[in-house]
Structure 1
C-alpha cells in the first residue's frame, strides 16, 4: 500500500477551527444551563445536548476538510480509517459543565496510522498522535501541538516543568468515577502520592490535566479507566512540550487504553515506579 504524507499544518488549522466552533456552542449553553437536557449514559457518565451539538459541529468541519480520515468521537462513535483518524471529545468535563464549574474543554487529536508519513520520508511503524488541540473556552486558552514541531499555549511555546522529584511536585489525577473495577489498583497510588508530593489535584477534565502538564502547571499526572478521546490530544501536547506521556501497561505506543501517566523526564519515571507495584499483571 502506498504511504500517504499527512498535511499536518492543514490538519492543525482544521482542528483549531473545529474546536472554536464547538466551544461557541458550549458557551452559548453555559449561559442558560437550566435549559440543558441531560441524560445518563451509565452510572456517573452524563451527556447533554451541548455535548451532542458541539460534536456534530466538529465532525462536520473535519469531514469537509479531511474526508479520507477516520473519526472516533465520544458521543457518536465512528471508526478508524484511512491514513489517520480524528479522536474527538467535544466536551471533556461534562459534569463540571453541567454543574457550572468552569473547568472543561474541547479536545481534538489526529492519530496517524502506521504507514503514514509525517516527517522526512520514512513511514511510521506504529500509530501515533500527530495533531493535538485542547481549547479551554473559559480562560480562552488554546493548547496546540504538532508532531516533531512543538507545543503552544495561544502564541507562546510551552514546556513541561523542571521538577526533579515527586517530593517537589504537584500532581494531577482523576478518581474512578464510572468503572470501579480498578479502584483497588488506583487507590494505593493515590495514598502514596498524597504522602510523597507537594499536593494532588483532581479537577475533572483529563484533557486539561494533560495540557497543564505540558505547560508546567502540573509536574505530573496519572489516571486509569479513561477513553482514547480523553487523552489523545493531551498525549501529544506533553510529548511535544518535552515530556513523557505513556501507557501505564507499557503495551501501546500511546495511552489508547486510558491508563496513563505523564510528566517530565524526572517525574514521569518516578510516577511509573510509584504505580507499577499496584498494577495487576496479566
Structure 2
C-alpha cells in the first residue's frame, strides 16, 4: 500500500466519522439555529463542528498539509499539500430533512488533486480514489462512468443558481434543451454527490456555475478516475477554482459541452 492509498483509506474513515455526527444531529436542527451566510446560503453548528472534526483528524494523518475549508475553521495554506473540504455539502437539503447531503474531502498536491473522497451520508455510500489507483471505488467496489454515447440517451444533473442570477436566463435555456433532448434533468442539491453519481454511472453528465472549490474538488477527481471527462465551460481546466464545471462520462462530453457553451457563453 502506497502513501496516497493509505491516506485515502484513512480519509474515508474520517469522512464516515463526520457523517455519523451529521446524521446523529439531523433531528436536532431547528430553524432558529440556522445561520444565513448569503441569499439561500445556510450554515449550521453541524457544518462547523463537522469541519472542526475533519480538520483535527486530517492533521493527524498529514501534519504538514494546509486547508481550504468552506467554513473557515482552519485557514492555513501550505506550500505542497492542501486539503479542500466541504464538511456538509447540501446543507439546505439537510436542514429540510431531504437527501442527498455529503462530506467532500480532496487532497491537492501543488496544483493537482491526488485524492478524493465523497461520503453520501443518507445512503452510507463512500466514493473514493487516489492518484495511481486503478479507477475509483464505492464502498470497496470498482465503479466506472456509464457507456451512453449521446445526450439523448443521457440523464443530466445540474444545480440551480442560488446567488448569482446574471446567467439565469441562459441557464434556463440549457434546461429547456436538456428537458427536450435527454432522458431528463435532475437537481439533487449536492454538487459533490452529483459528481460522484457521474463517476459511478448514475448520471451521464453534470454542469453548474457559481460553485466553490470545496464543492467540486473531490467529485471531479472521482469522475476522471472513473474514466470520465471534466472541464470548465470554455473547455479548459479551470473548473476547481473557476466556479463553473462540466463533467461527463467522456463519451458525451463534446456534444454536452457544445450545448452548455451555446447558451452559457453568450
Q: Same fold (TM over 0.5)?
A: yes
Q: In the alignment, what sits opposite 1:241?
A: 226
The answer on whether the counterparts of 2:201 and 2:249 sit within 8 Å (CA) in structure 1 is no
Q: Is the 8 A contact 1:128 1:254 kept in 2?
A: no
Q: In 2, distance between residues paired with 1:14 and 1:87?
A: 16
What is the CA distance between 1:137 and its match in structure 2? 1.8
Q: Secondary structure at the match of 1:203?
A: coil
The alignment's C-alpha RMSD in Å is 1.7
Matches for 1:204-219 after TM superposition, within 5 Å: 204-219=189-204
Q: Are residue 132 (structure 1) and residue 132 (structure 2) matched?
A: no
Contact 1:246 1:255 survives alignment (8 Å): no
Once residues 265 and 31 of structure 2 are traced to their aligned partners in structure 1, the CA distance between those partners, rounded to angstroms, is 44
Q: Can you list the C-alpha shifts for 1:9-49, whole angstroms capped at 9, x where unaligned?
A: 23213321220121121011113333872100011000000
- Give the distance between the partners of 2:205 and 2:236, measured in 1 at CA: 20
Cα offsets for 1:50-95 (capped at 9, x unmatched)? 0000000000011122121120000016253231211000000000
Q: CA deviation digits over 1:171-213, x for unaligned, max 9?
A: 1001111221232332222221111111000010000000000
1:16 paired residue number: 12
* Residues 210-259 of structure 1: per-residue CA shift (max 9 Å, x gap): 00000000011111111000000001110010000122233435432220
CA distance in 2 between counterparts of 1:280 and 1:248 reads: 8
Aligned partners of 1:147, 1:248: CA distance in 2, in Å?
A: 25
Structure 1 window deviating more from structure 2 (30-39 vs 80-89): it is: 30-39
Report the equivalent of 2:99.
102
How far the C-alpha of 1:7 sits from its partner, in A, is 2.7
The aligned counterpart of 1:260 is 245
* 1:198 correspondence with 2:183: yes
Contact 1:148–1:240 (CA<8 Å) still a contact in 2? no
Structure 1 residues 199 and 132: alpha-carbon distance in aligned structure 2, compared to 1, 3 A threshold: same
Alpha-carbon distance change, 8 to 254 in structure 1, aligned in 2, over 3 angstroms:
farther
- Once the two structures are superposed, the pairs formed by residues 111-190 of structure 1 within 5 Å of their partners are 111-113=108-110, 127-149=111-133, 150-190=135-175
1:47 aligns with 2:31: no
Native 8 Å contact 1:91 1:107 kept in 2: yes
TM-score if structure 2 supplies the norm length? Answer: 0.93
CA distance in 1, matches of 2:55, 2:106: 12
Superposed displacement of residue 268, structure 1: 1.7
Which segments of 5 or more consecutive residues in structure 2 lack a partner in the other structure?
none
Counterpart in 1 of 2:58? 62
